[in-house]
A and B are shown apart, each in its own frame.
Chain A
Amino acid sequence: MFNLNKKDLSLLIIVAVLTLFAPFILNPFPAGSAMAQFNAGYPDLMQRFVIFGIFAIGFNILFGLTGYLSFGHAAFLGVGSYAAVWMFKLLSMNVIPAILLAVIVSGLFSLLIGFVSLRRSGIYFSILTLAFAQMMFALAYSVLTPITGGETGLQLALNDPRILGVSQTAEGNIPVPGLFGLEMRDSADLVIGGWVFTFNVGYYFCALVLLASFYLSIRIFRSPFGMMLRAVKSNQQRMNYTGLNTRPYTLAAFVISGMYAGLAGGLMASMDPLAGAERMQWTASGEVVLMTILGGAGTLIGPVLGAGFIKYFENIFSKINDNVLHSWFSFLPDGLEDAVVFIIHPFIGKGWHLTLGILFMLVVIFLPGGLVEGGQRIRGWLKNRKTKDNGSASHETNPAE
């Protein structure tokens, strides 16, 4: 099916099941319980998981396959957001044209930046992309304020000249982005016992786009083009000496991953119609590098896992405060309770960066292949145990994708 081999197909199905049932998977704790703090199944975060998943999948096509480390990919995400918001302002609140324009504009930008930056490789390429991205951030933040809204970001207003559709709703509010009348913000709650599961239109829209982009990325990985990109990674010089021009291949990979970033930016703006310059800052570019490495660079599913991991920490750990800690440990005697809270305090709330940093270090040191390698080791360990039980000795391990 879908022209995929059995292994890839099962991977695609796993991803499909994970994304479609995410509202259940991410809300394992009853709403009223103390552990509800760790629930991540609310629309905004679920949307972020899949949007950054798409961003990381695209980044992985460049970094995972060709080995070119771009440090400016957030710029394309930002450009995509701006394009989408302008489409909302000028054309219609339908998300389709907005996302299309976002992908096209970011594709053009990546063509331009890629054309210049890909003249160099290695660290020089990284620095060039970083410079371009910072330049675009600085432009968006100040010089281009009339187009980008500067520091306050580009937002919808009550007097936008929307060609298709109204500038404001009957109640005098700004209309919300939708898909042919289906509002992205709409949600339905499913209450089962103490559990509350939220199904959000925007999330499922993003999830379908994620599945499509994941499928496309599998096809690229398995295509002759993907093989060529891997060859670039293993030895570009040798390829050049055999008389093959690798530039068109790397440029194509750069543009594709730039368009993925633009798609993510357009989706982001569709879920929340605002585009801020911070989206283009170098820290945002660094974040996608972290996501990819954390999940496993060069693997298919790794970037999606990494994106989810980082966004989870950013949104869940940063919201735990001392009050919450005290309520968790209130069963301990007073002195001990304060001591425990004191020890955990630096790692939660504003200390979420610290926790994430430690975990990142642990992953890089002990699982250089990222979370995917962790999964493989667990699987290998389970398999070994099983085969030992059976008495047979088949030591076949699955190669990394």
Chain B
Amino acid sequence: MSKLDVSRRGLLRTGAVAGAGLALPTIFTAQSAHAFTNEPTGGTVTLGFNVPQTGPYADEGADELRAYELAVEHLNGGGDGGMMNTFSSKALQGNGILGKKVQYVTGDTQTKSDAARASAKSMIEKDGAIMITGGSSSGVAVAVQALCQEAGVIFMAGLTHSNDTTGKDKRANGFRHFFNSYMSGAALAPVLAGAYGTDRKAYHLTADYNWGYTTEEAVKSSTEAMGWDTVAAVKTPLTQTDFSSYIAPVLQSGADTLVLNHYGGNMVNSLTNAVQFGLRDKQVNGKDFQIVVPLYSRLMAKGAGANVKGIFGSTNWHWTLQDEGSKAFVRSFGTKYGFPPSQAAHTTYVQTLLYADAVERAGSFAPCAVAEALEDYEFDGLGNGKTLYRGADHQCFKDVLVVKGKENPTSEFDLLEIVEVTPVDQVTYAPDHPQFSGGALGTCNNGA
């Protein structure tokens, strides 16, 4: 029989060791202790603004960031409130989101999917961001959207125009306010038919990547439905800076219209080359030669200078719109920064407000609750008229602007004029439209 010798010191020692042993597992908290990823517990909530700060779209990224800062200011009750006053939903009180003060972190996407995902991941894992937004390219938007789906946070897309973002690559946790290639084609075609007739022969130059393909397809099918012919569609490398060798064959092809499915620097260069070649002074098939740019942005128009005069394109929003929402936004943006906002700034500002509003209405930051509040939500007063956030693919449906390069610009910001506001019905499509087929939303993910 062993002798159990209990000394006071021995008992204390054993007790202390046992206590520490019992306490040890409790300081390890698995991340599933929260109801959803990054549930805000203190008096603040953190949003992640992931925009290109370096690389080809740095200008747009800078403008997006300005808009985000403005949105945060307005959400926290600062400034003049901007579009919060014209927004049809009155859930936002100017006291943060659900009473929590809004903070933000920023990151650089570099317009590379890898870098964008790394930056978004650090926002989620390190800074505890509850929502990620931003980006100025569809590749980045799709990549970050998939990441947010996996991690269980909401993604509010920035400037992304490819059909795939809410088509083939759509995700339940991702939402897009910006319009898309299909809408550009559907809005442009009738205006082009009205201005240039229905028996044109079009020649496409397309940037050789995903966005280029969907835009080419959208414009092609919409214009062909109007009676146009597509003579040829040539892919150009994304890194191309001199397009002369692509412009020369256009005239020999017998085409009388050139469609430039290019964006950013590509478009600036290809349009400049085309104009320098004198395409617009030519007569083909008894008609004046014309050039069309499906997606316009003010920054591109600035880059191409006088070459954009009279050239048709489409855009999501323009600061000269005269509705109350746009006026309020332009006023507060202009007061803060001294110049009017771009369409990238507009869509990111609106996305932030829409997210905050959805959280207020849902009464929770849980991604699934927010997604449910956003789905099939109709709102007004945010600059594009009556808008629907469709639940089937998380795409916003609203009026699309057809614009034209202004003949006599009065300032460096006044480069485009609105030709027509295409009503939403004309650009609406079925969720299973062939140009958007092949993807599934899946189910929303609350994360850990």
Interface residues of A (CB under 8 A from B): 39, 42-45, 48, 138, 141-142, 145, 150-153, 155-159, 168, 171-174, 176, 185, 187-192, 198, 272, 274, 276, 278-279, 314-315, 318-319, 321, 323, 349-350, 352-353
Given the known interface contacts A173-B149, A188-B28, A272-B147, the answer about A315 and B113 at a Cβ–Cβ threshold of 8 Å is no
Across the interface, which residues of A come within 8 angstroms of B121, CB to CB?
43-44, 272
Given the known interface contacts A188-B29, A189-B29, A350-B58, the answer about A152 and B106 at a Cβ–Cβ threshold of 8 Å is no
Contact string against A for B residues 205-224, beta-carbon threshold 8 Å, 1 for contact and 0 otherwise: 00011110100000000000
The distance from the CB of A281 to the nearest CB of chain B, in whole angstroms, is 8
Across the interface, which residues of B come within 8 angstroms of A159, CB to CB?
440
The distance from the CB of B110 to the nearest CB of chain A, in whole angstroms, is 8
B143 contacts chain A at the CB level, 8 A cutoff: yes
Given the known interface contacts A159-B440, A171-B443, the answer about A142 and B106 at a Cβ–Cβ threshold of 8 Å is no
B238 contacts chain A at the CB level, 8 A cutoff: yes
**Contact between B105 and A319, CB atoms less than 8 A apart:** yes
Across the interface, which residues of B come within 8 angstroms of A318, CB to CB?
53, 107-108, 119
List 26 contacting pairs A-B, 8 Å CB cutoff, sorted by A. Answer: A44-B118, A44-B125, A141-B209, A142-B237, A145-B210, A151-B238, A152-B164, A157-B439, A158-B440, A173-B150, A173-B442, A174-B149, A174-B150, A174-B442, A188-B31, A189-B31, A191-B27, A274-B117, A276-B113, A276-B143, A278-B115, A314-B118, A318-B119, A319-B107, A321-B105, A353-B54
Given the known interface contacts A187-B31, A274-B146, A319-B106, the answer about A151 and B210 at a Cβ–Cβ threshold of 8 Å is yes
Q: How far is the CA of A189 from the CA of B30 in the complex (A)?
A: 6
A-B contact count (CB 8 A): 135
Knowing that A173-B443, A318-B107 touch, tell me 11 more A-B residue pairs with CB under 8 angstroms. Answer: A42-B126, A138-B237, A142-B235, A151-B138, A151-B209, A168-B442, A174-B149, A185-B150, A188-B29, A189-B31, A274-B114
Interface residues of B (CB under 8 A from A): 27-31, 53-54, 58, 104-108, 112-115, 117-119, 121-122, 125-126, 137-139, 142-143, 146-147, 149-150, 162, 164, 169, 208-211, 213, 235, 237-238, 439-440, 442-443, 445
Q: How far is the CA of A172 from the CA of B150 in the complex (A)?
A: 12
Contact of B210 among A152, A168, A272 (CB under 8 A): A152
Across the interface, which residues of B come within 8 angstroms of A278, CB to CB?
112-115
Across the interface, which residues of B come within 8 angstroms of A138, CB to CB?
237
**Contact between A172 and B142, CB atoms less than 8 A apart:** no
Q: How far is the CA of A274 from the CA of B115 in the complex (A)?
A: 12
The distance from the CB of B104 to the nearest CB of chain A, in whole angstroms, is 8
**Contact between A190 and B113, CB atoms less than 8 A apart:** no
Across the interface, which residues of A come within 8 angstroms of B162, CB to CB?
152
Across the interface, which residues of A come within 8 angstroms of B209, CB to CB?
141-142, 150-151
